[in-house]
Copies of this chain bind each other. A is one copy, B any other.
Amino acid sequence: MSVRFRKLALIGIGLIGSSIALAARRQELAETIAISTRKPETLEEARDLHLGDIYTLDAAEAVRGADLVILCTPVGAYESIVKAIAPALEPGAILSDVGSVKAHVVGVVSPHVPPGVHFIAGHPIAGTEHSGPSAGFPELFTGRWCVLTPEPEVDPDQTERLAAFWRAMGSIVEVMDATHHDMVLAITSHIPHLIAYNIVGTVADLEADTKSEVIKFSASGFRDFTRIAASDPVMWRDVFLTNRDAVLEMLGRFNEDLSVLQRAVRTGDGAALEAMFTRTRAIRRSIISAGQETAAPDFGRPHEAPLAIPAADRGGEG
């Protein structure tokens, strides 16, 4: 089965979209790459970066004649985009996406997909805390999971065609149920981000002099939370609006556990604290042996000179 597509249309060209464009070009996975964005300045940035062959503000124009269309915008924009492109989608084309939630996406996109178009929702679990067309790089997906959540009626050959595309970009592909995906991602990604946002917010509320010392002494643990909490606000807003049930379920478990831990601190129960802190090590070890992390001591990362950071242009993986 050929991995090569005739025309790849990317709707949205942030960190993920631009990385797909670069990886697909490098692996020769598409003859033509069409890029569409809502904002003219983002489109110009993509053009200056030579990310594709066709640049248009009209998403329907971008998808016309495309045999692979991937939505790479925040999830909240999907419904209106799909309504706009539906008449232009070619029979036989694959329509996919890269959003961090899947059941909601299937719910809003499916009703608008024309007969003959294969809709297969997807989620590459990869990213950095930066965003925008210039943040992309072709190695982003190397060794990273890409989850596909086709509905039962989807032709398995089409799912395999899309899986081959992702594998050619370096991903390891897993097919699963959309609801199950959302539950797993709620605890591995959405709750950690919510917690990170929350603790950084708590700090922002502390009075002025304490706040400056918090920043001064951030290397002691807080720093890692701020990196997560620097992710793209709109993308994350949409994640929490669209994966509410799984997030609230997992947050409920988290809060129950935190109450137990809080009580152990309050009552000075050292044995309970030590037991809790010991068992969490096993999880860390499993992650390292699963190849999703290295054992290198990252807390002691080299202390480089402060760097300028790009304006407000940061995203996150989801």
A22-76 residues at the B interface, CB under 8 angstroms: 76
**B284 to A219, Cβ gap below 8 A?**
no
A280-B229, A292-B219, A299-B127 known; A273-B236 Cβ under 8 A:
yes
Q: Is A270 interfacial (CB 8 A cutoff)?
A: yes
Please name the residue on chain B nearest to A145 by beta carbon.
B217
**B309 to A295, Cβ gap below 8 A?**
yes
Q: Is A287 interfacial (CB 8 A cutoff)?
A: yes
Q: Is A286 interfacial (CB 8 A cutoff)?
A: yes
Binds B, one of A109-117, A159-167, A185-193: A185-193
**A286 to B192, Cβ gap below 8 A?**
no
Q: Is A175 interfacial (CB 8 A cutoff)?
A: no
Q: How far is the CB of A104 from chain B (nearest CB, A)?
A: 12
Q: How far is the CB of A248 from chain B (nearest CB, A)?
A: 6
Q: How far is the CB of A207 from chain B (nearest CB, A)?
A: 11
Q: Which A residues lie at the B interface, using CB under 8 A?
A: 76, 125-130, 135, 137, 140, 142-145, 147, 174, 183-185, 187-206, 210, 213-231, 233-234, 236-238, 240-241, 244, 247-248, 250-251, 253-255, 257-258, 261-262, 264-266, 268, 270, 273-274, 276-301, 303-310, 312, 314, 316-318
Give 5 closest A-B pairs by Cβ, nearest first: A128-B297, A189-B220, A233-B277, A143-B303, A192-B221
